[in-house]
Amino acid sequence: MPVWVWVALGLAALGLELVRRDLYLLWAALGLFAAAPVANHPLWAFGVFASTTALGFAVLRPPLWRRLNPPARDPVSRLIGQRGVVLQTVEGLDFSGWVEVDGRRWSAKSWDGRVIAAGTPIEVLAVEGIQLVVHPWQAPLAESQGPSPK
């Protein structure tokens, strides 16, 4: 095939890639462009095309795809580990209480079944649907609050 055919096919594949944006035809386009200089030797041209396309598809596409399409993060799951306060007493293992976390009011249940009184600081341990699983949060003791030496 003449050089211009390899280049024309490469441009067509690149144009389709720009429309589709799925990173499949990009590697074929690069393979076609890479094969154009050796177009006078059909076996070499096909070998360069096939190896460049396969290498790009197998090695370069996965990390590039992950970088361009990061996984969507569930906005509720970001609450795990955050602290808040109990607005209405959380009673046991059913979603009976209300807490405020990140400036919003959420239905909540206790992690271990204990009753958590209103006004108690809490930490979010898990999210079940759109409801939070919490436990009372205890601030770490400062060194001066530790047991006194005898």
Q: Which pLDDT score, from 0 to 100, does residue 43 have?
A: 92
Rounded CA separation 47/126 (Å): 53
Is 111:127 a contact under the CB 8 Å cutoff?
Answer: no
Flag whether 145 is in a domain.
no
Flag whether 146 is in a domain.
no
Token pair for residue 100?
Answer: 């405020």
Q: Which pLDDT score, from 0 to 100, does residue 143 have?
A: 46
Tally of structural domains, the chain: 2
| Phi, then psi, of 119 in degrees rounded to 5 | 90, -10
Q: Which pLDDT score, from 0 to 100, does residue 84 have?
A: 93
Rounded CA separation 70/18 (Å): 19
Flag whether 120 is in a domain.
yes
Flag whether 82 is in a domain.
yes
Q: Which pLDDT score, from 0 to 100, does residue 20 have?
A: 85
Going 117 to 120 to 125 to 126, the CA torsion angle's sign is positive
Place of tokens 């386009």: 29
Q: Which pLDDT score, from 0 to 100, does residue 39 have?
A: 87
Range of the domain at 23: 3-68
Q: Which pLDDT score, from 0 to 100, does residue 140 have?
A: 52
Considering the domain architecture, whether residues 61 and 114 belong to the same structural domain is answered as no
Considering the domain architecture, whether residues 15 and 53 belong to the same structural domain is answered as yes
What are the CA-CA distances from residue 124 to residues 36, 77, 91, 111 (Å)?
59, 10, 16, 9
Considering the domain architecture, whether residues 57 and 83 belong to the same structural domain is answered as no
Domain boundary among 68, 100, 115: 68
Q: Which pLDDT score, from 0 to 100, does residue 48 have?
A: 93
Chunked mean pLDDT (size 10), the chain, 150 residues: 90 91 88 91 92 91 86 75 91 84 90 87 88 80 43
Q: Which pLDDT score, from 0 to 100, does residue 113 have?
A: 82
Q: Which pLDDT score, from 0 to 100, does residue 142 have?
A: 45
